[in-house]
């Protein structure tokens, strides 16, 4: 069932973010792609925190609030990340502006396993709800 109420106002960014020359920068000063891409008013944003490090946040574009904990299990660093069959995977959420659903794509980090996975989920009552097991998916050519 698609979202009926799509936010059409001005995008409000979190206070720690800045805009310069048409680009948006997060609190770490890293460029981020913020666009309406989930549930009618949210942006699911991937951030870089250095080599081999990334995390995902959820920004409400109607009020600028940012939830940095909802996707915390899907962050990537030397110390952590999604492990599948003893291999570390990069998590990339895929969503649409008029959808309640998220497809989490998993790509191998080390390259020793060329099997990709995906998993269906949604946000319910402020937390992620897993709707399916991880299933094998085609790996794109990067």
Tens-digit pLDDT profile for residues 12-52: 999 999 999 999 999 999 999 999 999 999 999 999 988 88
C-alpha distances in angstroms, 40 versus 17, 49, 65, 127, 132?
A: 21, 27, 15, 17, 23
- pLDDT score, position 1: 62
Please indicate, yes or no, if residue 94 is contained in any of the structural domains.
yes
- In percent, the amount of the chain with pLDDT more than 90 equals 65
- In this structure, is residue 110 part of a structural domain? yes
Domain assignment of residue 36, given as a range: 18-137
Range list of β-strands (E), the chain: 18-20, 23-25, 31-32, 42-48, 54-60, 66-67, 82-84, 87-94, 101-108, 116-124, 127-130, 135-137
Per-residue pLDDT, averaged over 100-124, amounts to: 88
Question: What's the rounded mean pLDDT across residues 71-80?
Answer: 84
Whether residue 1 lies inside any domain: the answer is no
Q: What is the pTM of this model?
A: 0.89
- 65, part of any domain: yes
Please report which confidence band the pLDDT of residue 113 belongs to, taking 50, 70 and 90 as the band edges: low
In this structure, the chain runs to a length of 142
13 domain residue, yes or no: no
- Give a yes or no: residue 117 inside a domain: yes
Q: Is residue 3 one of the residues assigned to a domain?
A: no
Residue 64 in domain: yes
Task: Name the domain count of the chain.
Answer: 1
């Amino acid at each position: 069932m698609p979202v009926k109420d799509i936010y059409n106002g001005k995008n409000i960014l979190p206070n720690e973010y800045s805009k310069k020359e048409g680009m948006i920068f997060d609190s770490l000063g890293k460029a981020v792609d913020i666009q309406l891409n989930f549930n009618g008013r949210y942006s699911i944003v991937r951030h870089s925190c250095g080599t081999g490090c990334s995390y995902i946040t959820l920004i409400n574009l109607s009020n600028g609030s940012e939830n940095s904990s909802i996707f915390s299990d899907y962050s990537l660093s030397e110390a952590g990340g999604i492990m599948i069959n003893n291999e570390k995977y990069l998590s990339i959420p895929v969503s649409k502006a008029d959808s309640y659903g998220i497809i989490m794509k998993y790509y191998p980090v080390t390259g020793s396993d060329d099997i990709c996975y995906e998993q269906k989920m949604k946000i319910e009552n402020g937390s992620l709800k897993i709707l399916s097991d991880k299933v094998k998916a085609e790996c794109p050519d990067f």
